[in-house]
Chains A and B, each alone.
Chain A
Amino acid sequence: MSDSSIQIEPSSADSTYNDLIAQFPGLIEMETRPGFTGVVVSTVAIRKVMLYLKEQCGFDYLTSLTAVDDFPEDKIELIYHLYKTTGSPIIELKLFTTRESPVVPSVMPVYPGADFQEREVWDLFGVHFEGHPDLRRLLLWEGFAGHPLRKDWKEPLFEEDVKPFKSRWPEGKGIHRESLNPFNDNVQYPKEFDPNGFTPDNDESVYKILQSKIPAGSDDLKVEHMIVNLGPQHPSTHGVFRMAALLEGEKVLALKPVIGYMHRNHEKIGERNTWLQNMPYTDRLDYLSSMSNNFGYALAVEKLLGIQPPERAEFLRVMMAELTRIASHAMAIGFLLNDLGAFFTPSLYALEERELILDIFESVAGSRMMCNYFRFGGVVRDITEADFKQVKKLVEDRLPRKIDDIDLYLTENEIVQARCEGVGVLTAEEAIAFSESGPMLRASGVPYDIRKADPYSIYDQLEFDVCYRQHGDVYDRYLVRLDEIRQSIRILQQVIKYMPQGPIQTGKVQYAVRVPAGEAYGRVEGPRGELGFYVVSDGKANPKRYHVRAPSLMNCTGLEKMCVGGKIADAVTILGAVDVVLGEVDR
């Protein structure tokens, strides 16, 4: 199960960059701005370079694709992060396009995992990707006016470019921001907009795509095709997730996830916030594992700041992150069983253990779910002796027993096996191509775990195994999660044993951190996979760009592939095994 985990190879990214510059003379330049890394590729060459990297160099995994608006310059940067799933440093490619007419070639033919990310960049930045087969808006709806992440686009309740706003500081006399809006609401309309003569899109574009997938009928057998919407309000959609499926009888012919029903503008708000103000917002991304989100953001900003938390803080961080993983995986298993029809009984077992972990979070951080526990260079509060004992009791006595119980009740269950085995299969190649991560990738036989491949914090000092399975079906995803809970317990036992005494914060606690100009991509292995934060600083008190590489969103890329050809009832199971959290999918 756990022998050949992947380690990062010692060679740096620079050798790859030099190789690229030699291969494509005149088309690639080194990034020269201080604080920034990577190479700048010319627009015409991007697909060729990507193909070369994938075919010749083995960079098979596109992890993050995003954009930065360089307003007031007429420039939008596209940033691609790639690595090898056999272990390599991350390499970064950049591409410049204009704000006036941003058109770049889509990299989807090379990396199908770029699908949702390119749609997101089109939606929020208005960059057109040539050759993308289905370039629709991802998070907003068709017909929305403007591309909100452009720096010159202002939201209806806009106050100032950056926080803290004068209206809230220091007098703090409250006004209802909506009352200044002519419509007394958070809305704005373009000039001469006539609501009476308006016909909405009503998702015609989704249905058109689905209808185009209807196979040309044969004459001897008449089959009726039907488009069914599951969600956004549906008891088994894990939040406001919607799947529009084209069915032939019970068989799924095509399926399109429709998301954005919980798009809460994390990135736009994050670029107005000060650096530290973003910390509580990260809690609300993947609200089942707020500690992991804190971890990722803290790592990214600490990279820019060039600071290291003290040892005790590192131990506390890992302790909280692993407790989060246990709570989150337990919940994922419980809800997967909900989707199989075991309505709420297994979930109650899972929630019982989760409550005990939440008690610890509440005592340590002050809140059950939205912990806001991490700070740049440490954590906010030390753990008390009583809480420490509680954690010890939990991981040394109760949790191992309870996990064995869940294992005993579910793993060998005939219905669970019949419904899960061989359902929603992704091969290793497909999982890598769709940029799946976390348990989804590992269940397909790719033992890639960031805690081993690119160790952060103190994970290189801890003993644990990377759990992976070979079949890539729902059952293996369930088993990988179960194994990971056991490994997390193992990590926690070591953390408790070796927990050092000492300070929990490097330097003074600062509320307004000045972050040096530059960029950083910090990533952690969250319960759902690779959670990355791409941050760009221009030396001011607020981030210039704050992007979240959300594992839940990326894991949805392969959803259509997994569901097509199966029964519609299995689509629900597959979604349960992907374990999406909508806060993170839509952000």
Chain B
Amino acid sequence: MDEKQDLNNSGYEIPEELRHQVTITTLEKIYNWGRSNSMWPMMFGLACCAIEMICTAASRYDFSRFGMEVMRPSPRQADVMIVAGTVTKKMLPQIVRLYNQMSLPKYVVAMGACASGGGPFKEGYSVVPGIDTYIPVDVYITGCPPTPQSLINGLNALQKKVMNEKMSESGWYAKEPAKEVPIPVLGPDVFDPRKSELIFAETHKQAETGDDIGEEGEPK
């Protein structure tokens, strides 16, 4: 086992006869150890990758061995959102809303090429080139779709990340409530409210020069 993940290395000497009964560790370590071994994914599939996620949950690969014990249909009860599939513009507001509804601490795994960067459909007009343009992602998994083995590997990577977190630095004990990601709006194209200044400036600049990227030619 990884040294960080081993509970029994606090530096205190445990007498030989108590070795298998007593563990001395730090609060932080046992807290992270507990959390990392009960990562409940949200039952939330988008596309092809969702089928591989189901296969990973089923009897042959069975990711509950690693603590992804139950899939929760409700975002309130889930710890990790596995974005399994192509994120389209029409679905984007819902995904961001689900992310906002998850309670802290929350993690996001981008499963497969589409969720990580648009994948084979990136050039399409209604595909978001990676979910990380809107919400923060902790682990990216390659593959189209990733095999169950690589999904488990990705979730193990997330567990390692959780083991290395510090309570003092974690955002979820802060006094003020967590900041929500603004929900993207479906207009003539999807737009991120955080970028409205830029969008306003760009669309009005084009109007002056008469250069319209919306209809023809190369975007500038």
Contacts and interface: CB of A to CB of B under 8 A. Distances in A.
B58 interface: yes
A228 to B, nearest CB: 16
A185 interface: yes
Nearest to A149: B125
A189 B48 contact: no
Given A348-B59, A351-B60, A582-B47, A154 B200 contact: no
B124 A145 contact: no
B186 A200 contact: yes
Nearest to B199: A195
B207 interface: yes
Interface stretch (A99-107, A257-265, A417-425): A257-265
A264 B43 contact: no
Nearest to B57: A344
A207 B204 CA distance: 34
Interface stretch (A233-241, A391-399, A460-468, A495-503): A233-241
B47 A239 contact: yes
A195 B200 contact: yes
Contacts of B215: 154
B46 to A, nearest CB: 6
Interface stretch (A13-21, A25-33, A173-181, A448-456): A173-181
Contacts of B188: 143-145, 189-190, 193
B189 interface: yes
A186 B191 contact: no
Contact of A269 (B85, B121, B133): B121
Chain A CB within 10 Å, residue with most, of B118, B120, B133? B120
Interface string B183-220: 00111111111011011101110110000111111111
A451 to B, nearest CB: 25
A189 B125 CA distance: 12
Interface residues of B, number: 65
Interface string B118-145: 1011111111110001000000000011
B156 interface: no
B104 interface: no
Given A145-B214, A268-B124, A189 B203 contact: yes
Given A182-B213, A195-B196, A201 B88 contact: no
A52 interface: no
B51 interface: yes
B120 A284 contact: yes
Nearest to B148: A368
A140 B196 CA distance: 22
B189 A187 contact: yes
Given A189-B203, A239-B46, A263-B88, A272 B123 contact: yes
A177 B94 CA distance: 26
A398 B199 CA distance: 60
Contact of A200 (B94, B122, B185): B185
B199 A193 contact: yes
Contact of A145 (B73, B98, B189, B216): B189
B121 to A, nearest CB: 4
Nearest to A141: B186
A280 B120 contact: yes
A161 B214 CA distance: 16
Contacts, number: 203
B86 interface: yes
B67 interface: no
Interface string B85-103: 1101011001000100000
A459 interface: no
Interface in A279-328: 280-281, 284, 287-288
A191 B207 contact: yes
A288 B88 contact: no
Contacts of B121: 264-265, 269
Given A156-B219, A240-B91, A177 B191 contact: no
Nearest to A263: B126
A145 B193 CA distance: 18
A134 interface: no
Contact of A351 (B55, B124, B144, B191): B55
A410 interface: no
B142 to A, nearest CB: 14
Contacts of A354: 55
B139 to A, nearest CB: 21
A370 B186 contact: no
A262 B125 contact: no
A409 interface: no
Given A287-B51, A352-B59, A198 B124 contact: no
Contacts of B219: 156, 158, 180-182, 188
Interface in B137-196: 144-145, 147, 185-193, 195-196
Cβ-closest 9 pairs across A and B: A265-B124, A145-B188, A155-B125, A287-B48, A235-B73, A195-B196, A351-B58, A261-B91, A264-B121
30 contacts: A140-B126, A141-B90, A154-B216, A156-B189, A157-B129, A177-B122, A183-B202, A187-B190, A187-B191, A188-B189, A188-B214, A189-B202, A190-B212, A200-B186, A232-B91, A234-B73, A235-B43, A235-B73, A240-B46, A260-B90, A261-B88, A263-B88, A265-B125, A265-B127, A281-B120, A287-B48, A287-B51, A344-B58, A347-B58, A351-B59
Given A187-B189, A269-B120, 11 more contacts: A141-B186, A143-B187, A155-B125, A183-B195, A195-B200, A264-B86, A264-B121, A284-B120, A352-B59, A355-B58, A368-B147
Interface of A: 139-141, 143-146, 148, 152, 154-159, 177-178, 180-183, 185-196, 198, 200-201, 232-235, 239-240, 260-265, 268-269, 272, 280-281, 284, 287-288, 344, 347-348, 351-352, 354-355, 358, 368-370, 582-583, 586
